[in-house]
Structure 1
Amino acid sequence: MQWIRTIDWPAWIGTLILIIGFREGCVWITTQFNHPELGNLMGLLSLLIVLVIWRKVGKIPSRVVDTNNKIMKESAFAFLPISAGSLLMMAHMGKEIPLFLLVLFVSTLIPLWLYAKIAKRWL
């Protein structure tokens, strides 16, 4: 139970409110234009833009950066069910596996790599 006392709760709550607030706000805005599916992307990009501007004007608090790093490490477990579903689907695809892997690579790894490069450079 010692680890509970060492968690920076205000930074965690503030970071989560920031992330969830941007996402939900953008989903609401895009829903007004009848395209709620664009809310996640708009939320991600708008949060990135705000953080880049914040970085240009001042320094992002290290508490927020540390909390974000911890969230990114721990959220990797959220992809385990997706990975299991992909493996099951691949078992039934046969000759279409190379095309599936190409789409998976292009739609997942390249955007994540680009986002990491952008975040590392500007944040």
Structure 2
Amino acid sequence: MQWIKNIDWPAWIGTLILIIGFRELAVWVTSQFHHPELGNLAGLIGLLILLTIWRMTTGLPQRLVDTTNRLMKESGFAFLPICAGSLIMLVQMGKDIPLFLLVLVVSTLIPLWIYAKIAKKWL
């Protein structure tokens, strides 16, 4: 139980409110244009723009950086159910697998590669 005492709860709560708030705001805005499915992407881009401007003007607080680093490290297991669902879907797709793999590469690997380049340069 010692690890619970070492957690910076205000930073965690603030970070989660920032992430969830941006996502929900983006879903609301995109639903006004009748495309709520674009909310996650719009929220991600909006948050990225805000954090970039914040970093360039005043610098990000170390508490925010530490919290997001820990959140990214600990959330890796959240992708296991997605992987299992993708495998089941691949088995049932048949001749549409090449198109699915193209979409998967474009929507996953390329953004991760860009994120890695940005992280390597800025961190």
TM class by shorter chain equals 0.7 to 0.9
Measure, in 2, the Cα distance between the counterparts of 1:120 and 1:23.
26
After superposition, give the CA deviation of every residue in 1:2-44 in whole Å (9 maximum; x if it has no partner).
1100001010000000001111011111111111111111110
User: Which consecutive residues of structure 1, in runs of 5 or more, have no partner in the other structure?
Assistant: none
Query: Aligned-pair RMSD on alpha carbons?
Result: 2.0
2:114 pairs with 1:104: no
> 1:65 Cα shift?
0.5
Letter in 1 for 2:21: G
Measure, in 2, the Cα distance between the counterparts of 1:90 and 1:49.
35
The residue that corresponds to 1:70 in the other structure is 70
* TM-score, length-scaled by structure 1: 0.85
Match of 1:4, SS state, is: helix
Contact 1:22 1:47 in 2 (8 A): yes
Measure, in 1, the Cα distance between the counterparts of 2:87 and 2:42.
30
Measure, in 1, the Cα distance between the counterparts of 2:14 and 2:120.
21
> 1:78 Cα shift?
1.1
* TM-score, length-scaled by structure 2: 0.85
Measure, in 2, the Cα distance between the counterparts of 1:113 and 1:12.
27
Letter in 2 for 1:30: T
Structure 2 CA distance for partners of 1:65 and 1:98, relative to 1, 3 Å: same
Measure, in 2, the Cα distance between the counterparts of 1:62 and 1:88.
41
The residue that corresponds to 1:10 in the other structure is 10
> 1:109 Cα shift?
1.4
The residue that corresponds to 1:84 in the other structure is 84
Where does 1:46-61 land on structure 2 (aligned, <5 Å)?
46-61=46-61
